[in-house]
Amino acid sequence: MPRSPKIIAGGVILVFFILLALVGPVLVDGDPTKTTDVGLAGPSAAHWLGTTQSGQDVLAQVVYGARVSLGVGLLSALIATVLSIVVGLIGGYAGGVVDEVLSLLTNIFLVLPALPLVIVLAGYLPSRGVTSVAAVIAVTGWAWGARVLRAQTLTLRGRDYVQAAKASGERAWRIIFAEILPVEFPVIATSFLATVLAAILAEAGLSFLGLANLSTVSWGTMLYFAQNNQALLVGAWWWFIPPGLCIALIGAGLGLLNFGIDEIANPRLRTVLPKRRKRFGAGR
Amino acid sequence: MTDEVVLAAENVTKHFAASRGRRFGLGKRPPVRAVEDVSLNLTAGRITAMVGESGCGKSTVARMLARIYPPTKGRILLRGKEVTDSRAYRRNVQMVFQDPFASLNPFHKVHYHLARPLKLHGHARTKAEVDEQVAALLERVSLTPVEQFMHKLPHELSGGQRQRVAIARALAAQPVALIADEPVSMLDVSIRLGVLRLLEKLAREENLALLYITHDIASARYFADDILVMYAGQLIEQGPSQRVTDDPAHPYTKLLLSAAPDPDQVDDEEDTTDHGEPPSLISPPSGCRFHPRCPVALPTCSTTAPLFTALADDHHTACHLYDPATVAG
């Protein structure tokens, strides 16, 4: 069991938000979109995190927003990871023309500025549902993972156990997915977590710019409405701080978890805490 | 014991594209001539050793025979025929790699490593058959208790145990020829003999044609029936191991033997002759490739490459000293 403080801290944060998204809506009653007469009220017993301009409960919005933000993050990271595994491993293993073509594709997506592309793509989407936003983010975000996995595959391709599998008659796809893929799990895990983080941020950015479906409640759309209604100017800090903090916290959690996995995979990165020395002759 | 030649290489040559080195103008870099015009026969039930110093092309020959690299020129014949179907070929020719720490996938258990070739080559179909044959294979390479070793990961095994797993994996395909590329050079001296004895026992039991590649001519003499000596990518002497080691013909073989420690001949005189360095394989020496290091080189050695001369029915060497034409002239 890893006893790394980074993994524990990151894991606790992540589990907290996953629980919030899963069971939060059961505990917090109230419709996040329901408007009431009490607009822009500060935190109180009735509304723990206050209300928005149109009297919606901020706590309910944060809780429901967690579902959308995490959902988009996980879904698009899943799509992006599958894409990067396919492109990176097949290109790295096959070499030659296949690798050239796939590398070119990867490089194109690497140099394309992601946010403007996402904005353009999102602008032309027929529907702006959670799935299509996730797909757009995945399409622009798979290239980093593919690049890393291709490099890793290039080094693994020449290893003796891959040659041995080849010499014992294994087919190429079997070598790629049964011999090379499992060995790359730590790399895939870190790249997956990094993509989740990037996707959550991208979703928040898109929503903040008003390019996602504004009728779904996510942390990003909360910030969008807070901004549009000058929450900062009127001093309604309870409106924009909770979603902003949530995004920052989950980012920190995913980052910590990522560093922790890195340390397991590469022990040289481990932070060494100075051991407290036992004092001899104490009490003299 | 049959005298059937199961695996033969005919004039195989391997050139690698050099990744470094001087380019001439915009042209291609000169290739590394790793193996040049090597022919050999592996006979069922016989152990053939291939000896030579590091970088002389031994492993490249092994990898060409195991079809990891395609030869640049020449043919590889399995029972006298060229086999194009690579899975059929691999069922018959298997290889044991040099480094048992690198040749087993760290992610897979011993059972997986042995079960894959069994399933691939159709030797076992049901799970029960696979389990039974995996157990039998582990038994044959003396990894007992079998149940215990079956479920271990490579990092839980010692070097010798890993090499036994690698040997079992090669046997799982039920090959007729086995290429062992320096199978003991990465192992502790104390367990080398055990692994060699195991290979020998298996080769005799299964009537395998075994090619044992090594840089240690002393172990080749102990272990093999025939010895092939390679120098700078070429074969320079071949014959029965007893003859080659007792009465070496080629000056390089003599050099190799004098470098091997011999406990029977304690020589107080320190050998101070400078034997030089192995030549570059990008631009090998003209004529006989050994001539710059040869203590008895003739003028003709630097201009003409020697051909194989028969010293006896089964003992051949490529050296001008034994060439009747040169000796007469």
Give the residue among B64, B76, B61 at the shortest CA–CA distance from B6: B76
Q: Is residue A129 part of a domain?
A: yes
**CB–CB contact B67 A167 (8 Å):** yes
| CA triple B138-B144-B148, angle to 5 deg | 90
| Whole-number Cα distances in Å, A39 to A43, A44, A49, A239, A242 | 12, 13, 12, 11, 17
Q: Give per-residue pLDDT as tens, B272-324.
A: 556 677 888 888 888 888 888 888 888 888 888 888 888 888 899 988 888 77
Backbone φ and ψ for B81, nearest 5 degrees, come out as -125, 150
**CB–CB contact A169 B95 (8 Å):** no
The CATH number of the domain holding residue A248 is 1.10.3720.10
Residue ranges of chain A with per-residue pLDDT less than 70: 1-2, 29, 39-42, 55, 267-284
Residue A232, amino acid: L
Q: Give per-residue pLDDT as tens, A70-117.
A: 888 999 999 999 999 999 999 999 888 999 999 999 999 988 887 788
Q: Is residue A48 part of a domain?
A: no
Structure ipTM: 0.81
pLDDT at B48: 93
For an interface test with A, the pick among B65, B103, B163 (most A C-beta atoms closer than 10 Å) comes out as B103
**CB–CB contact B95 A166 (8 Å):** no
The full DSSP string for B75-125 is EEEETTB----HHHHHHHEEEE-S-TTTSS-TTS-HHHHHHHHHHHTTS--
Give the residue among B66, B6, B13 at the shortest CA–CA distance from B38: B13
Q: Of B68, B104, B172, which is closest to A167 when you measure between CB atoms?
A: B68
Q: Is residue A39 part of a domain?
A: no
The pair of three-digit structure tokens given for residue B215, joined into one six-digit string: 């840089």
DSSP strands (E only) in B115-259: 177-181, 209-214, 226-231, 234-240
Q: Is residue A153 part of a domain?
A: yes
For an interface test with B, the pick among A168, A170, A174, A183 (most B C-beta atoms closer than 10 Å) comes out as A168
State how far the Cα of B326 lies from the Cα of A23, in Å rounded to an integer: 94
Q: Which residue do the tokens 């029977």 mark? A: B264
Give the residue among B93, B96, B210, B108 at the shortest CA–CA distance from B155: B108
Answer whether A164 touches B (CB < 8 Å): yes
State how far the Cα of A205 lies from the Cα of A244, in Å rounded to an integer: 11
For an interface test with B, the pick among A161, A173, A179 (most B C-beta atoms closer than 10 Å) comes out as A161
Residues of B with CB below 8 A from A166's CB? 68
Residues of A with CB below 8 A from B95's CB? 164, 167
CB burial of residue B184 (10 Å; 0-12, 13-18, 19+): buried
Answer whether A172 touches B (CB < 8 Å): no
Edge-to-edge strand ranges of the sheet holding B47-51: B93-96, B177-181, B209-214, B47-51, B226-231, B234-240, B315-318, B308-312
pLDDT at A280: 54
The pair of three-digit structure tokens given for residue A160, joined into one six-digit string: 């003796």
Q: Is residue A275 part of a domain?
A: no
Give the residue among A188, A211, A222, A198 at the shortest CA–CA distance from A85: A188
Q: Of A163, A170, A179, which is closest to B120 when you measure between CB atoms?
A: A170
Residue B310 parent element (H or E): strand B308-312
Q: Domain spans of chain B?
A: 1-22+30-79+176-263+276-283, 103-174
How many A×B Cβ pairs under 8 Å?
Answer: 57
pLDDT at A284: 43
Relative to beta strand B308-312, strand B234-240 is unpaired
Q: Of B103, B106, B117, which is closest to A169 when you measure between CB atoms?
A: B117
pLDDT at A278: 54
Return the CATH number of the domain spanning residue range B1-22+30-79+176-263+276-283: 3.40.50.300
Q: Of A164, A170, A182, which is closest to B103 when you measure between CB atoms?
A: A164
Residue ranges of chain B with per-residue pLDDT less than 70: 1-3, 18-28, 262-275, 326-329
Q: How many CB atoms lie within 10 A of CB B253?
A: 24
**CB–CB contact B116 A165 (8 Å):** yes
- Domain holding A223, by residue range, is 5-24+54-269
CA of A183 vs chain B CAs: smallest distance (Å): 6
Q: Which residue do the tokens 């001949």 mark? A: B265
Question: Considering only alpha carbons, which residue of chain B is nearest residue A159?
Answer: B102
Number of compact structural domains in chain A: 1
State how far the Cα of B95 lies from the Cα of A167, in Å rounded to an integer: 7
Q: Which residues contact B197 (CB under 8 A, 6 or more apart)?
A: none
Residues of A with CB below 8 A from B68's CB? 163, 166-167
Residues of B with CB below 8 A from A159's CB? 102
CA of B91 vs chain A CAs: smallest distance (Å): 7
**CB–CB contact A160 B108 (8 Å):** no
**CB–CB contact B105 A160 (8 Å):** no
Residues of B with CB below 8 A from A168's CB? 90, 94, 116-117, 120, 169-170, 172-173
Q: Within its chain, how far is the Cα of A186 from the centroid? A: 16
